[in-house]
Chains A and B, each alone.
Chain A
Amino acid sequence: MRYSFFSKKLVAVIFLIAGFVSAQNHEGEEVETGAHDLKTQIKEYIDHHLLDSYDFNLYSYTTDEGEHKYIGFPLPVILWDNGLKVFSSSQFEHGEAVAEVDGNHYALYHNKIYKTDAEGTINFGGHHGDETHTEDAFGEDLVVDDAHPTNEKPLDFSITKNVVFIMAVALLMFLVFRSMAKRYQKSTMPRGVGRFLEPLVLFVRDEIAIPNIGEHKYKKYMSYLLTVFFFVWVINLLGLTPLGVNVTNNIAVTFALAMITYLITTFTGNKNYWKHIFWMPGVPVPMKIILAPIELLGTFIKPFSLMIRLYANITAGHVVLMSIIGLMFIFKNWIGSPLSFLLAFALSLLELLVAALQAYIFTMLSALYFGMAVEEDHH
């Protein structure tokens, strides 16, 4: 986790500079509160950016009349709530309206869909208080920010922005690798895009699969390793584009990927693998009994760490990057903006590396777990 250490240092440096610059700005109360509001706004923006979204917005702005304008297009919302409900996310009007389908009302609250009444009332349970607090879905009252709404949540299969991007990446990968495969039918020399991709494919085979799994058994895992490597890499890279789609900073996505690794490991594990979990050879019997639950837990922890690592790295990168960009709007002076631009630029380069590195680590560790699952008895 060298990277997160580095970003911590970076954040510390930025806060020092920020402190210095804001000390210069100690002119009056008004500036202070203005900056504070801006900070809150930026923080909210970052939080919002990290979340999935029901529509595809490229950017939004506020007109002089105080009206929010969004550039983008809505996506289909698919709910299972006593029957399939499909409607356009434009009905939410970016969280400012209640959508009505077949007599049911749905409202967005903190980017989640809740079933509400016609007015879009969100009820809050007494999670941290005895009185039940009620708030309008688009009300300004943020006192109960950490309370959970008690409204019913319908099962949500919506095609969100992230799903659109997963589809796009899947389509892109399929077309690119299909065309690459077709070229090989004419000659075994790589042509076109294959010249760039073949070394990567060979890298996955020769540097990841063979050393970790072994020369004889690596073949059946190659499809998964290659797919997950390119998928994570491409989708991480897309997260760095101005489209700003962060698919891998959703725990659901990394959970799905880690789960597949877990399932493959579990279902391809040989006798030796299970023996090492439940009846560790070469240790006394009491130790065997102690080790069994630990080893069993370990099989879950391994993919869990995969899930958290990918999620945390990408999320951290985006938070830091956007914080630095956000600093530009706080500093508003000649030293702050160029500095934060430079930092953001440097960090973007680092993020490019992280995008590839995380894909590599995920693939590498998956291969390592597969290797453990098929390792032969050496005793």
Chain B
Amino acid sequence: MEKLIEQFSFGLFFWQLLLFVALLFLLRKYAWKPILGAVEKREEGIKGALEAAEAAKKEMQNVTADSERLLQEARAERDALLKEARDIKASIISEAKEQAQVEGNKMIKQAQATIESEKKAAVADIKAQVASLSLEIAEKVIKEELSEKGKQQKLVEDMLGDIKLN
């Protein structure tokens, strides 16, 4: 230790300190700052480029996925349209059938009603004819029978007993 202290040269210490500090400041200004700055800039550039590439890749994936999705959608839409058309067709047919049925039924009912009314009219007509016939008969009977009182009476009674409407 004593030897070390003895060996210590103040002059060398002075020059070392002076030159080193000068070197430190010169290098800091003219070398380290530009070098580290450039390196950092480059690293940031590389990082930015990588990020951009990654983003582009993602974008690309998105686009592909989009087109795929659109295709799928179109396909689904087509299928839906076809299905709808089929459904409409079926419903139209069934509706038509139904309507035809209804119409048929209606026509049948109308026919029946007509028949009924015709029948009624016929019956009424028959009744009228029967009535007129009866009147004619009655007239004849009256004309014939009214000559003899007892016979007239008996005839009317018999005839009335014969008449059975329908």
Residues of chain A at the chain B interface (Cβ within 8 Å): 51-52, 78, 148, 155-160, 162-163, 166-167, 170, 173-174, 177-178, 180-182, 184-185, 188-189, 194, 198, 201-202, 205, 219, 222-224, 226-227, 231, 250-253, 255-257, 259-260
Contact = CB atoms under 8 A, between A and B. Distances in A.
Interface in B1-21: 4, 6-17, 19-21
A174 B26 contact: yes
Interface of B: 4, 6-17, 19-24, 26-28, 30-39, 41-42, 45
A163 B70 CA distance: 79
Main secondary structure on A side of the interface with B = helix
Contacts of A173: 23, 27
A194 B36 CA distance: 12
B38 A184 contact: yes
Q: Which 4 A-B pairs have the closest CB atoms?
A: A184-B38, A177-B31, A188-B42, A252-B13
A356 to B, nearest CB: 19
Contact of A155 (B10, B23, B26, B27): B10
Given A174-B26, A174-B27, A255 B8 contact: yes
B31 A163 contact: no
Contacts of B28: 223, 227
A242 B27 CA distance: 28
A199 to B, nearest CB: 11
Contacts of A226: 27, 32
A223 B24 contact: yes
Contacts of B34: 181-182, 184-185
A218 to B, nearest CB: 11
A257 B30 CA distance: 21
9 contacts: A160-B11, A170-B19, A170-B23, A173-B27, A181-B31, A223-B27, A227-B32, A252-B9, A256-B17
B27 A201 contact: no
